[in-house]
Every structure is written in C-alpha cells, then in structure tokens.
Amino acid sequence: MTCYVGLDVSMKETAICVVDETGDRIWDGKSRTDPDAIAAVLARRAAGAVRIGIETGPMTVWLWHALTERELPVVCLHARHAAAALKLQMNKTDRNDAFGLARLVRSGWYRPVAVRSMDTHRLRALLITRDQLVGMSTALINKIRGLAKTFGILVGPGKGGTFERQVRATLPDDPVVAALFESLLAMLSTLREQQLAIAKQLARVARQSGACRLMMTMPGVGPLTAVSFMTTIEDPHRFRRSQDVGAYLGLTPRRYQSGEVDINGRISKCGDRLTRKLLFEAANVMLSRTSQASALKDWAAAIGRRSGFWKARVALARKLAVILHRMWIDGRGFDPKVTAMA
C-alpha cells in the first residue's frame, strides 16, 4: 500500500508516523534512534513508503546516509520550513511532529535539503575545528592581556611569537604569577600548533583539488576560503544560476513587501556562517591588501566611495561567491578584466 512516513528524531528515540494517500494516520509509534531499528520498523509498518521525511538536525546526516544506503526513500526537510507547518498544530509532541512531517511529504509542499556526503562533512569538520581553535586562541590572548594589566604589565601590539616574547620579557618576579602566565602561554602554543596542523592539511586538500586551484587564482582567495566554498556548495550544478549562490550564503538583503510597503533590509545571513565570514575576509584582502589591479576591485572601490567600505565589502563578498561558482562551472581561472562571468 502506498504510504508516507514522518520521522521526528531525538537522541534516544525516534517517533514514527505512517499516513496513507489521503493523509490519514495508519500507524504511529517509536523506535530506538538507530538506522537498523528504524529500518526494521519501516519494513513491517511502511513497506510501500513513497517518501520518508526527516528534518535537519544534529543526527540527520548520519541517519539520512544510513537509511539511504538501505535503499529507503528518505527526504530531508529544512527544520525552519518544517516548523512553519508544524506550528499550526494545537499541541507540540513528538507524535504530532512525526504526523505533521508525514503529511508534509505527502503534500509535496516542501523543498528538499541537499545532504552533503560524508567526505565533505569530514572536510567541514576540519574547517570548523580550525575556526574554533582560532577563536580559543584569540580569547586566550585577550585573557592574558587582561590578567597582565592587573599586575601593571602592558603587553604591546603583536601576535604569534612576538606576543609570547613580550609577555615573557615583562613577567614579574612573583613565582606564582610567572608560573600562571607560563601555563597560559603553553596552552596558547598548543592551540596554535593544532591550528597550524589543520591548516596544512586543508592546504594539501586545496592543492589536490582542481576546483580549489581554479578558485585560488582569484586575489584574496586562499586554501581555506576555496575549501570552505567547495564543501559548502559541493555540487555546483544544483544551482540554476550563479546569482543564486549569493542568496544561498545569506549575502543578499532581506525584503518585506506588502501593498505600498517595500523595504530592503540587511543581508539575511542565512546559510553557512563560516564560508560567509571567509568571503568577507577575501573581499577585505582584495580591497585593502592586494596590489593586483582588476575590474572587480575597481567596481567595489567605487561602491566604497559612494556608500562606505562596509557596504562595499558585503557587495564584493556576494560578487566573489557568484564569480567563484561561475569559474567552477566553466573551468576557467579568474579574469581581472571583468566584474562578472557569463
């Protein structure tokens, strides 16, 4: 019998609901959050399932790949879109959520989310870990500077080995305080070593990838930005137009239009935060640090003179995303003479 299934996943148990072609509930229950256990329940209760809906979440990638390997028709729904439909229900329970997901996939009123491969998620894990290590290093440096001021020590500007030498050169004679700062500096050194090791690993990945090598022909785009962009998009052909990549990464303004009201707000900041941040950094490098002339840089500089550096950087970051996608599709390196690639 043709049926549709909704899975509401939690850490220990997953609520399962099966509905028929008219949307009526056939069966509901719970299973351990384990692919084998869920597949066994579906084999008994929903052998003719057309679609199995699961919303995005921490365990979605693992379950989606495991159930897909078992040849089950799993579709992934964006949690925010699913929430808009599920909130129409009077009571929020796991049982009701699974019922709502089943009816949602039956109706077809959803846009499936592309689930990245496990290889891509491994690279994303490296990128995210490196970003966290950078944040931890920055926080630790600020903590060292703050503690030093308590003892009348003012650490001058500098980073890396310069910062550590300055701290050690100004340590007080107090053995307790000196030991404290040495332990903090040792922690900082360990964080930097791990950060550097991951950066080298990602640089090797970028050198071995033809797509990344193409992207790195653009000024300001290094291995980290190239790998992050590649793993975020993964399949460039899933975008009908290169311009859609800007919106996908949250680099286009929000819009509210109703009647005579039409407001363009700030950028949406949807999509991958890390890739968006790296594109901002690449735009900043192109505008401020590279001496290579290009029509794209002149275009962004003109926006800066008109509307300010911040808006110019946002506009350039969006343009970089669009052009990087076009370069990837066409297999062409960066052309400094153009501001867009057809």
3-107 has CATH 3.40.30.10 classification = no
CA pair distance 300, 42, nearest whole angstrom: 55
Name the residue with higher pLDDT: 138 or 257.
138
Give the pLDDT confidence of 95-114 residue by residue, as tens digits. 999 999 999 999 988 889 99
Least confident of 53-62, 227-236, 261-270, 326-335: 261-270
Percent of the chain surpassing pLDDT 90: 74
Q: Angle CA(59)–CA(62)–CA(64) in degrees, nearest 5?
A: 100
Cβ neighbors of 188 (< 8 A, separation 6 or more) are 137, 140, 141, 144, 164
CB 312 within 8 A of CB 303: yes
pLDDT given for residue 125 in this prediction: 96
Cβ neighbors of 129 (< 8 A, separation 6 or more) are 198
E strand map for the chain: 3-9, 13-19, 25-32, 49-55, 74-77, 253-258, 261-267
Least confident of 70-74, 134-138, 168-172: 168-172
Q: Would you place residue 340 in the very low, low, confident or very high pLDDT band (cuts 50, 70, 90)?
A: low
The reported pTM is 0.89
CB 172 within 8 A of CB 155: no
Per-residue pLDDT at 280 exceeds 80: yes
Mean residue pLDDT across the chain: 92
Per-residue pLDDT at 262 exceeds 80: no
CB 49 within 8 A of CB 3: yes
- Compute and round to an integer the Cα radius of gyration of the chain: 25
pLDDT given for residue 235 in this prediction: 94
Chain centre to alpha carbon of residue 318: 16
Tokens describing residue 117 = 């491969």
pLDDT given for residue 342 in this prediction: 46
